[in-house]
Amino acid sequence: MTITSAVYPGSFDPITYGHIDIVRRAKKLFARLLIAVVANPNKTPFFSIEERVAITKAALDEVGITGVEVISYDGLLIDCAKAYKVDAIVRGLRANSDFDYEFQMALTNRDLDSDIETVFFMTAGRYSFLSSSIVKEVKRYGGDVSSFVPGCVEQALARKFGH
């Protein structure tokens, strides 16, 4: 089997330069790459699903990444992967703490459909600490997040926080 297409799922609440780094690198390996913004019922997102999709699209445009489809989904990731006929799931790893969860999810997805592979990307070192939660926390208190997210994301955060 040749892997030609992949889906990169996440809450992207909001998308960060760490996420964008993974997108940029995954795009080099896969002819078709989808970003799937998840409507996770176990989390209370800061931005609505529609806002996260729009912000993600705007951020990719701002950094010059084209040819990536941004979708939203609700339910099992493996069902999303099947529906969009992708061969692989892209996941980013920052630290050991990410690995345990991601390992469990990869094995579960393999049990659900052994034809869909999970491909892990180690984050770039400069983004190893970066998370959407940290970005929101810094911006909540008026901090500068311009080195963490594109300008359109920073503006969306400022509007949401009323800055």
Domain assignments of the chain as residue spans, ordered by start = 5-129
Assign 3-state DSSP to the chain and report helix, strand, coil percentages, each to 5. 45, 20, 35
In this prediction, residues 143-149 reach a mean pLDDT of 96
Higher pLDDT, 33 or 96: 33
If you average pLDDT over every residue of the chain, what do you get? 94
- Known catalytic residue: 19? yes
What pLDDT was estimated at residue 101? 87
| Residues 36-51, mean pLDDT to the nearest whole number | 90
Decide: 59 and 150 in contact? Cβ < 8 Å: yes
The Cα–Cα gap between 90 and 88 comes to 6
Task: Give the predicted TM-score (pTM) of the model.
Answer: 0.94
- Please, are residues 153 and 14 in contact by the beta-carbon 8 Å criterion? yes
Residue 144 has pLDDT above 90, yes or no: yes
For residues 149 and 14, the answer to whether their CB atoms sit within 8 Å is: yes
CB 30 within 8 A of CB 5: yes
pLDDT(1) > 70? no
Question: What CATH number has the domain spanning 5-129?
Answer: 3.40.50.620
What stretches of the chain adopt beta strand conformation (E)?
5-10, 32-38, 68-73, 88-93, 117-122
Contact 148, 129 (CB under 8 A): no
Backbone angles phi, psi at 87, to 5 degrees: -95, -20
* pLDDT (mean) for 95-104: 82
* Catalytic-labelled residue, pool 27, 52, 91, 132: 132
Question: Is 132 noted as a catalytic residue in this protein?
Answer: yes
128 versus 36: the higher-pLDDT residue is 36
Q: What pLDDT, on a 0 to 100 scale, did the predictor assign at position 26?
A: 97
Q: Which one of the listed residues 25, 94, 136, 160 is annotated catalytic?
A: 94
Q: Assess whether 163 carries a catalytic annotation.
A: no
Res 82: pLDDT: 96
